[in-house]
Structure 1
Amino acid sequence: MTIATPERYAHMLEAARSGGYAYPAINVTSTQTLNAALQGFAEAESDGIIQVSVGGASYLSGQAVADRVTGSLALAAFAREVAKRYSHITIALHTDHCAVQYLDEWVRPLLAYEAEQVAHGEEPAFQSHMWDGSTVPLDQNLTIAEELLDKSQAARTVLEIEIGAVGGEEDGHRASENAKLYSTPEDAVEVARRLGLGERGRYIAAFTFGNVHGAYKPGFVKLRPDILGDIQRETASAVSQGKVEGLDASTRYPDDKPFMLVFHGGSGSSPEDIATAVGNGVVKMNIDTDTQYAFTRAVAGHMFANYDKVLKIDGEVGEKKQYDPRSWGKQGEISMAQRVVEACQELGSAGHALR
């Protein structure tokens, strides 16, 4: 198995929930970083998720084109070819952090394209798409989520939603310090009321618990992953008491965790916070900052170590094999792959590739 089918992706998510682990979701911006992520997952014997952000999708199409749909589909096509050589792991493809201003030029066209693929008996290009409604009021967020969930059903994809705001900056999208960085059980119950809990289509939810994008010194980010446990328990209780209209009060959820959760802004998190989040139902954790640094740090090391070979100094000619992009690119891939392995080990997915 290589790129997941819709059924295989559903199996992956259920396996993570029942097995008490989560998948690293690695943001990529190039074929090199894609290959590094695949290498890391393979070395860890872990299934995983590879994703592209709004800026990454544009970058992948080339700066002269700068089209997010083109970049996304190019990545998906390339990934399908190279992933065939990693037959012992399963990889899902995901688009990450689509804010309201990008819906009409990115995720809605992709969903329409994938619905056409499905209508013709093909697999969808991606397995899931994220709607980032963190900058709009909850009612508007869920109204758009309802529409996208219907479109996801037609495309046989999974929808990811964000409830609350993740601090810091991601691809030019910044949440202020006054944003709602902590979701509430009341928010979660409203999500269940509007979207159901799988009956109207599969989705995964990123409730916020103090998450911040970017890299920070220890102690700066105040995570409260216990909030996720409160959200799960109180939503399950509301359903069992018949307080969520449209949901069967007799329904029981695995370990009283009705939501499959996503952890955003996890770079630099402590092992304890990660373990608590996973224990409360996180099945996917986004990793971007740490893998970006791992790749670039190795490239920088090569450049510093071979300064007089990668530059033509004082009329000299340098050394071609040192400034050949393949030489420093390989170092970046190796370093990033090692960070992916570390993420798989931290999240517990290492050694759990579905057979």
Structure 2
Amino acid sequence: MITNARQNGYAIGAFNTNNLEWTEAILRVAQEQQAPTIVAASMGAIKYMGGFKTVVDLVHDLHDELNITVPIAIHLDHGNYEAAKSAIAAGFTSIMFDGSDLPIDENLAKTQEIVKLAHAKGISVEAEVGTIGGEEDGIIGDGEIAPIEDAVAMVNTGIDFLAAGIGNIHGPYPDNWTGLHLDHLQNITTAVDEAVGHKVPIVLHGGSGIPDDQIETAISMGVSKVNVNSEAQLAFHEALREFILADHDLEGKNYDPRKLLATGVQGIESALTDRISVFGNAHKA
């Protein structure tokens, strides 16, 4: 699905899940929008949800029960070496090995190992050079700009798509953030495409909070996967907080978690629908 996006100038949303309700919301929106979609899970979310196999089984079971017909991938987001191997064994269909906090030679060597293990099972691999700002499951980055030579070396490991730091960060963006380094993105895209002789899909992490026009420009330059987590979490929190502060939780049986959380889930669905519109992948199934 990401190769198709790269070839045709749009991007796939990689939406992080956090629980049952989140997973249902992602799948429902994907089906409603007829949008190929990636259900992503971080190491922290996997632990919270009960383990690697639990996440895989949950997505598969909901996929079948909800009669989902659009392409869906189950993706490990920012996995370390051991998590990547565990996700491969559990049946994830896509792996991000994040060795960006390691020396570049070690990052490349471990990525090659993960590529060999994953590709033997038909699993796609994403890897990262130049750390993404912010913190993701203990991996802390300062928002480095990925060196071109590191990006070229990484795609030569045989990965399927590349995450490269271009000034993007995880979580809400601070007021003094100056924007994506789009000129550097273009240089990376040109260099890696020439290195392997075909269009390499680029991944934009920290997609929550980047202005839409910058995301659209980045997509035109080769970004084919955009990660979204904080945006949906903030939408969930805002809707749920408004519901509780208005004392709606005290009405009837709204203490029932199925009723209490419903308004937050609607917030998630609204946020993801909006992102799919910006990414341009509605009706691409």
- Of 16, 19, 29, the residue aligned with 2:5 is 16
2:154 pairs with 1:191? yes
AA in 2 matched with 1:297: E
Residue 146 to residue 336, structure 1, CA distance change in 2 (3 Å): same
Extract structure 1 runs of 4+ deviating beyond 6 A. none
- Of 15, 23, 37, the residue aligned with 2:26 is 37
Aligned 1:31-180 pairs, distance under 5 A: 31-61=20-50, 71-84=51-64, 85-99=66-80, 103-104=81-82, 106-111=83-88, 113=89, 125-176=91-142
1:297 & 1:221 partners in 2: Cα distance? 26
1:221 & 1:332 partners in 2: Cα distance? 31
Q: In the alignment, is the contact (CA less than 8 A) between 2:98 and 2:128 conserved in 1?
A: yes
Q: What is the CA distance between 1:293 and its match in structure 2?
A: 0.9
- Of 258, 280, 285, the residue aligned with 1:348 is 280
1:208 & 1:347 partners in 2: Cα distance? 19
Q: What is the CA distance between 1:222 and its match in structure 2?
A: 2.9
Identity %: 30
- Of 166, 170, 177, the residue aligned with 1:220 is 177
| Count, aligned residues | 284
1:40 & 1:171 partners in 2: Cα distance? 26
2:271 pairs with 1:291? no
Q: In the alignment, is the contact (CA less than 8 A) between 2:31 and 2:68 conserved in 1?
A: no
2:68 & 2:45 partners in 1: Cα distance? 26
Q: CA-atom RMSD, angstroms? A: 1.9
Aligned 1:258-337 pairs, distance under 5 A: 259-306=200-247, 310=250, 319=251, 321-337=253-269
Q: In the alignment, is the contact (CA less than 8 A) between 2:27 and 2:68 conserved in 1?
A: no
Q: What is the CA distance between 1:19 and its match in structure 2?
A: 1.3
Structure 1: give runs of 5+ residues left out of the alignment. Answer: 1-11, 62-70, 115-124, 197-201, 240-246, 311-318
Q: In the alignment, is the contact (CA less than 8 A) between 1:184 and 1:227 conserved in 2?
A: no
Residue 143 to residue 169, structure 1, CA distance change in 2 (3 Å): same
AA in 2 matched with 1:189: V
Q: Partner residue of 1:338?
A: 270
AA in 2 matched with 1:96: D
Residue 323 to residue 192, structure 1, CA distance change in 2 (3 Å): closer
Q: TM-score, normalised by structure 1?
A: 0.75
Q: What is the CA distance between 1:227 and its match in structure 2?
A: 1.5
Q: TM-score, normalised by structure 2?
A: 0.93
1:50 & 1:221 partners in 2: Cα distance? 29
Q: What is the CA distance between 1:218 and its match in structure 2?
A: 4.9
2:178 & 2:33 partners in 1: Cα distance? 28
